[in-house]
Every structure is written in C-alpha cells, then in structure tokens.
A and B are shown apart, each in its own frame.
Chain A
Amino acid sequence: DVQMAQSPSSLSASVGERVTITCRASQGISDYLAWYQQKPGKVPRLLIYRISTLHSGVPSRFSGSGSGTDFTLTISSLQPEDVATYYCQKYDRVPLTFGGGTKVEIK
C-alpha cells in the first residue's frame, strides 16, 4: 500500500506569514491528492482536490501544488481562523490513505 508522509507534524507561524505543508507519497499517485482542514470537534473540510483545484468557497490564500509523489499545501497569508489540523489524502485507488496531519498554530 502507498504510504503518505506529511510534514511537519506541527508548526507555529505569525499572522500574515506564508505557511507550507508537505505530503510525500511512497509511490506515484497521479493527480488524485486532496487536502482537508479540520478544526477541533468539527468534521474535516475539503480545501483542495486534484492537487491544486480549490473547492468551492475556500479562500484563495490556500493553494496546492506538486506532482507524482511530492505535494504541497500553501497558505499565502496565515489568518487566525486557519488554526486547525491539515491532512492530505490520496484517492487514486484504495486504500485512500491520509497523511498523519499537520497542526497549525499562531505564534
């Protein structure tokens, strides 16, 4: 099975700072990579699918990039409401594995 390694596991950044989260697949997964945001006690929220397509209603400060095995979620200007845990997920074929998550906090 393809494993998804997400890094860092946590980060602290200032409001307005650029934040980058990385997800690495153990094998190529084409372009079937999604990113989710989850706030405590809430259902995960889809941010991005197909590596870089922003889901409806997601602020444009979020962006995704990458190809093959290496993918990135970028928050161009961190806002207080972005405090959450972020997960990548492959969905090219089963199992639809998630990365381990990245907890983002405000410094």
Chain B
Amino acid sequence: QVHLVQSGAEVKKPGASVKVSCKALANTGWFFHWVRQAPGQGLEWMGWIDPNTGASGYAQKFQGRVTMTRDPSISTAYMEVNRLTSDDTAVYYCARDPGLGDYWGQGTLVTVSS
C-alpha cells in the first residue's frame, strides 16, 4: 500500500518562506498534488508535480508564489510557499489523483504569526 509521509509542523513569520516535503514510501511515478485547508475552511487545490519529469502546474491563485519540486532519488516532493502572510496559515496536504485511490499525506500545519 502506498503511503505519503509529510514533514512536521512549521511556525513562520510573515514574509518568510516555508518548504513542506512529502515522501512516497513506494516509487510509483504518480503525480503529487498539493491541497491546503485554512482553519475552519474547505479544501483548496494548489497544484501538481510530475515526479518523473519535474513538470508542474499551479492554481492561478498561487502562481508566482508557490514552487513545487521533487527529488526522484528519494521519492519526495516539495512545496514551497514564499512571502507568507497570516492567510497562509493552514494544513497543507500532499495527495494523489482520486482515480488512483485514497492516498493523502497526514498533513503539515503551517502557522504564520509575528
């Protein structure tokens, strides 16, 4: 069974950057998707990355401020958010296409506070 394991919680100051990792315990080559959920809010899709080629795409809202990368040698994807504001306080998830199954990381809480 494929599992996704994310890095731990982060506390950042406004204007800083944060980089969250997501390790796949099995190297399937499937795309990684990133989803975030602000406190008390719904799920918000952020973008995707192909671990094979490094190709990525972002929701319009995040273009220019979010960068997704990967290290195929360790089956890990990364999602970096720059110029953090309090509105970026959220749980960030990595996940797979739902057509492949129910594969979600455990979530990473990012808190932005001065």
Contacts and interface: CB of A to CB of B under 8 A. Distances in A.
A46 B98 contact: yes
Contacts of B97: 91, 96
Interface residues of B, number: 21
Interface stretch (A18-26, A76-84, A97-105): A97-105
Residue in A36, A46, A55, A85 whose Cβ sees the most chain B Cβ within 10 Å: A46
Chain A: interface size category = 20 to 34
Interface of B is mostly: mixed
Contacts of A49: 98-99
B9 to A, nearest CB: 14
B107 A87 contact: no
Interface string A16-51: 000000000000000010101010000111100110
B102 A101 contact: no
